[in-house]
Amino acid sequence: DFAAKKTFDFESIDRDYEARLAEYKAQVAAAEAKEEEPPEAPEGLVTDETEEKESDRVKARFIESKSMQQQVLKEMMEVFQSSRAPLQKVSSDRGDGPTHKAIRSHCRPFLEQRGSLLLRHQLRKVSNLKADDQLRRGLINVSGFGHCSPTVLDAPNFPNQTPGVQLGGRIYFPQSEAQLAQFMEDPARFLGNPGPSPVQLCPAISVVGGPLSGKTSLAKELAQRTGA
């Protein structure tokens, strides 16, 4: 109903229709006065006496047309969803300006990540156990990043339980769930990064504190976390 009111001026439609109907009735009266055949009613003009307004008929046709369009869109969305294509519904009831703005907002990630649209469907998570087994059997190879994360350059390579990512016979090892989500979302952004530096940095950590302050416990946790 809101979309119909934004599309049509119902008062103007009723006014024009009443003028056309009055003109046609005058033509019919003039033909009857001359005992002539009355003219045919113009297309779209309802001559039967009815309380229904022309604006109501226009609104009904508009709603029927919108319902058919919605049905076609629903069927098209089902086809796209079966193909795993991303969909986003944008309301167009608020006018052209807000609609175009919403479309640009939803399309921005696809334009920025258009290089990853095809790669994203080729990614596959691989558990560490399965990755080690496939590497040992020669079914896949380590990527140019080695066991370092492709998302962060020259970051320390700490032991982690984050699954690896297989792409085109290569295995990549993000170091955290956040890095895994970044790589899965936009792999093309990181594949062009330079490989890790051949210089291995081994920082020394000194834990200082008073007696019974937890130096040993902290040192053990650091050692376990960093693989020292």
The per-residue pLDDT for 171 is: 92
Whole-number Å distance between alpha carbons of 50 and 41: 16
The per-residue pLDDT for 165 is: 92
- Burial zone of 123 (CB within 10 Å; 0-12 exposed, 13-18 middle, 19+ buried): middle
Helix 10-33 with 54-82: angle, nearest 10 deg: 130
For strands 164-167 and 124-126, give the pairing.
antiparallel
Walk along the chain (228 residues) in steps of 10 and give the mean pLDDT of each run: 74 83 83 81 73 80 87 88 78 81 84 81 89 89 86 71 87 89 89 76 80 90 73
Enumerate residues 6+ apart whose C-beta is below 8 A from 80: 87
Q: Are 222 and 204 in contact (CB under 8 A)?
A: no
The per-residue pLDDT for 113 is: 79
Angle (CA) 44-49-52 rounded to 5° is 65
